[in-house]
Amino acid sequence: MEPIRIGIDTGGTFTDFVVARGHRRNAFKIPSTPHHPAAAILAGLSRILAESSVLPSEIVHGTTVATNALLERKGARTALITTAGFEDVLEIGRQARPEIYNFFVTRAAPLIARQLRFGVTERIAPDATILTPLDAQQLETIVAQIADSKAESVAVCLLFSFANPTHEQQVAKALERLKIPISLSHKILPEYREYERTATVAINAYLVPKMSGYLHSLQSGVQSLEPGVESQKIDASLNASASTLVTRKTASDKKATPAGRRTTDSRRQTSLRVMQSNGGSVSAAVAASEPVRAILSGPAGGVVGALRVCDAAGIPNIITFDMGGTSTDVALCSGAAKTTNEATIAGLPVAVPIIDIHTVGAGGGSIARVDEAGALRVGPESAGADPGPACYGRGEAVTVTDANLLLGRFGGGGLLGGEMNLEVERARFFMAKLAAEMSRFSNTTVSVEQAALGVVKVANANMERALRVVSVERGQDPRLFALVSFGGAGGLHVCDLAEALRISRVVVPRSPGTLSALGVLLGDVVKDYSRTVMVKTALMNRRKLEREFVALEREAHKDLITEGFTKERQKLARSVAMRYVGQSFEIELAWQENFEQKFHALHQERYGYADASRQTEIVSLRLKATGVTDKPRLRRSALRQPAAPQVASIARVFLTERASRVPVYRRDDLSTGAQFSGPAIVTEYSSTTLIPAHRTVEVDAWLNLIITQ
């Protein structure tokens, strides 16, 4: 019997599930539970197990817990221990002014308050020699102060600890008796740049208690589920596991069950993995102790899914467009996902590897309003899952979803294959209020349909700007890429955005609303390692660098074996971070024979110039370690010439201010080779796709909708 694997993506409005057994897959959505994300997950798992006689072999989870805790500033009370004199690094930052002409800009407060930042006397030199020994007596005083402060987590970041971690290890040993999570910079980010390193380890410490408590709760709930049982006492299992929230123990205190292994207790056979921001997953235990690596967990799964689907279809260069209920995530991928160590989340630098994703507050649940000057605004505020858009029956805020419903763009049906009805008249009532507000400022009568069209246009403008950020503003021509649409709301807007950017080909994968949940299943286990070396290329000792790489590889092999991967299922990729001497930031490239020439070429591509006569230097060595997982198979269909696709119904749709009669197709009725022209609407369980008049649709061998001009 083939094992069952489950991919889960928690969104702001819906939680998505993909159940894979061999090449067979099914997917579904249920409303998210923002007050306790694990409740929606356990409800979905209960639904799956009610129809199954066996437990799943693994669950891979894309989560927003770390993201939301950081954005909402709802993390732990955190203390920082750093080298004396560097207590204010978090506050000083880079002294950069994000708004050059705004003299009254207010900067967000550091995650760690001044009274919880402690300096200890010690000093290590860049060459790893100890200049000033650690003051053990002073450290004892600091530990006592942290205990009195009721801190729930501690970040430790000492100067040049990436070169010599001895002092950080001594600090960690002294802190052990407090029995609270400890985040060490030489483990989280062993690279130079004091501000970015301190900020990253501070974020990690800030998130550990929340993330570890959540994952303990989820793991406990998963272990309580049983196959073949119609209903589960989800609330009881959550309450029973809530005690883990107050133990103040991190998941790293327990040994994780390696992927693919079995324990003697049949109730613990399911391994739980968490998607990271770099596009790979790790065990729940690792994710609980290093949550900074999972800040863009869900969006990363979407990019991985889009890349795998398009690679199978022979489409290497794509721009991903993931429009969900609360936000839109976009990324440009030339054959592979691009990662960056220079991401900024909630105004804070996150220097661990993250897929280069740009996010805007524009989704199906984005709230429309008229501002003080009479301009129509859409987002970034969202109605979320509760109360949700007005048409969901509880909320009173007008959203993008309400606008699309009133314009007839859902094809006359509800959501989730009819499981979720939409209240048209309720949406009309609240849209009429917005139209009246728009009329008051414009001194003209604005109809409900005109207001709805305005909401869609403003939302499209917000998303178009995001697409331009990852393409045009970075020197890339979007016309050379295919625009890949997924997320529950993406299909209703993607063709308009392709038109604005003059992109000729749009790809809508099968079950686009759950592609991120599929993507977390398609990802491997990925771990990143690095070491700062700061050596001029002309003076480098290649044998010494080789030894450094070997040391990183030894650590990677050990960690992947712990995750359950034999050496035959491990892949290692070396790279270096390089720059011209005197520059502030680096370019990462593969470690190869002609790496310096490759650096000049990449610099030319990215910045428009290069200087082969100028000295270069290697700043850091980096290693990407991959544990190759078993993945659900993507099924290819035989190409044939089917009969003309059957029109399921005719809908009254406002493509402009005048209504049109538009044919509606059911995606389940469209087989490989089917072709038709717009205007048209394609409905399916997880999403709806709107095709304008000047576009043609063809279903390829992988059941993707290929929409071209």
Q: Give residues with Cβ within 8 angstroms of 634, minimum separation 6.
A: 23, 308, 309, 312, 702
The pLDDT confidence band at residue 431, using thresholds 50, 70 and 90, is: very high
Same domain, 85 and 195: yes
Structural domain boundaries enclosing 603: 525-627
Same domain, 44 and 146: no
Same domain, 87 and 177: yes
Cis peptide before 387 (omega within 30 of 0): yes
Question: Which of the residue ranges 60-64, 166-170, 283-287, 608-612 has the most confident prediction, judged by mean pLDDT?
Answer: 166-170
C-alpha span between 676 and 691 (Å, rounded)? 10
Same domain, 195 and 283: no
Same domain, 152 and 265: no
**Bigger pLDDT: 346 or 377?**
377
Q: How far, CA to CA in Å, does 216 sit from each of 285, 372, 501?
A: 9, 46, 45
Percent of residues, the chain, with pLDDT higher than 90 = 69
Percent of residues, the chain, with pLDDT higher than 70 = 93
Same domain, 187 and 271: no
Q: Give residues with Cβ within 8 angstroms of 128, minimum separation 6.
A: 160, 163, 164
C-alpha span between 379 and 365 (Å, rounded)? 8
Q: Which of 627, 656, 689 is the last residue of a domain?
A: 627
Decide the pairing of beta strands 688-691 and 24-31: unpaired
Mean pLDDT (the chain) is 89
Q: Where are the alpha helices (DSSP H) in 225-327?
A: 234-241, 284-289, 297-312
**Stretch 458-466: mean pLDDT, rounded?**
95
Three-state SS across 601-643?
A: HHHHHHHCCCCCCCCEEEEEEEEEEEECCCCCCCCCCCCCCCC
Same domain, 91 and 198: yes
Q: Which of 294, 327, 343 is the last residue of a domain?
A: 294
Q: Are 117 and 90 in contact (CB under 8 A)?
A: yes
| Ranges 247-251, 278-282, 287-291, 621-625: which has the least confidence | 247-251
In this prediction, residue 36 carries a pLDDT of: 86
| Ranges 245-249, 335-339, 559-563, 657-661: which has the least confidence | 245-249
* Residue 484 within any structural domain of the chain: no
pLDDT in tens, 135-167: 999 999 999 999 999 999 999 999 999 999 999
Q: Give residues with Cβ within 8 angstroms of 483, minimum separation 6.
A: 318, 319, 321, 467, 494, 497, 498, 501, 503, 505, 506, 507
Q: Which of 294, 313, 330 is the last residue of a domain?
A: 294
C-alpha span between 385 and 16 (Å, rounded)? 13
* Residue 197 within any structural domain of the chain: yes
The pLDDT confidence band at residue 676, using thresholds 50, 70 and 90, is: very high
* Residue 255 within any structural domain of the chain: yes
DSSP state of 360: E
Q: How far, CA to CA in Å, does 548 sit from each of 98, 129, 321, 551, 576?
A: 37, 18, 39, 5, 12
Residue 77: CB atoms within 10 Å: 15
Residue with tokens 């080909």: 505
Same domain, 103 and 203: yes
* Residue 571 within any structural domain of the chain: yes
In this prediction, residue 643 carries a pLDDT of: 66
C-alpha span between 616 and 609 (Å, rounded)? 15
C-alpha span between 89 and 98 (Å, rounded)? 18
**Stretch 316-338: mean pLDDT, rounded?**
93
Q: Give residues with Cβ within 8 angstroms of 651, minimum separation 6.
A: 408, 411, 412, 661, 662, 663, 664, 681
Q: Token pair of 250, please?
A: 């991190």
Residue with tokens 């129809």: 51
The pLDDT confidence band at residue 15, using thresholds 50, 70 and 90, is: very high
* Residue 103 within any structural domain of the chain: yes
Number of compact structural domains in the chain: 3
| Ranges 33-47, 88-102, 608-622: which has the least confidence | 88-102
pLDDT at 114 over 70: yes
The pLDDT confidence band at residue 258, using thresholds 50, 70 and 90, is: very low
Three-state SS across 305-330?
A: HHHHHHHHCCCCEEEEEEECCCCEEE
Q: How far, CA to CA in Å, does 652 sit from each of 364, 662, 663?
A: 21, 6, 9
DSSP-derived 3-state class of residue 558:
helix
Say which CATH number the domain at 614 has: 3.30.1490
**Stretch 484-511: mean pLDDT, rounded?**
96
Q: Token pair of 497, please?
A: 């955005």
pLDDT in tens, 51-93: 877 888 899 999 988 888 888 889 999 999 999 999 999 998 8
3-state helix, strand, coil in the chain (%, to 5): 35, 25, 40
pLDDT at 408 over 50: yes
Q: How far, CA to CA in Å, does 121 sit from each of 132, 139, 162, 184, 339?
A: 8, 8, 17, 17, 37
Say which CATH number the domain at 60 has: 3.30.420
* Residue 634 within any structural domain of the chain: no
In this prediction, residue 229 carries a pLDDT of: 61
The pLDDT confidence band at residue 1, using thresholds 50, 70 and 90, is: low
pLDDT at 180 over 80: yes
| Ranges 245-249, 269-273, 556-560, 664-668: which has the least confidence | 245-249
Q: Are 456 and 656 in contact (CB under 8 A)?
A: no
The pLDDT confidence band at residue 417, using thresholds 50, 70 and 90, is: confident
DSSP-derived 3-state class of residue 552:
helix
In this prediction, residue 436 carries a pLDDT of: 94
Residue with tokens 């398009």: 310
The pLDDT confidence band at residue 35, using thresholds 50, 70 and 90, is: confident
Say which CATH number the domain at 99 has: 3.40.50
C-alpha span between 48 and 42 (Å, rounded)? 10
Same domain, 137 and 115: yes
pLDDT in tens, 184-215: 999 999 998 999 999 999 999 999 999 999 99
Same domain, 47 and 90: no
pLDDT at 589 over 50: yes
Same domain, 144 and 252: no
* Residue 561 within any structural domain of the chain: yes
pLDDT at 264 over 50: no
Same domain, 91 and 176: yes
The helix (run of H) or strand (run of E) holding residue 526 is strand 525-536
The helix (run of H) or strand (run of E) holding residue 433 is helix 424-442
**Bigger pLDDT: 665 or 636?**
665
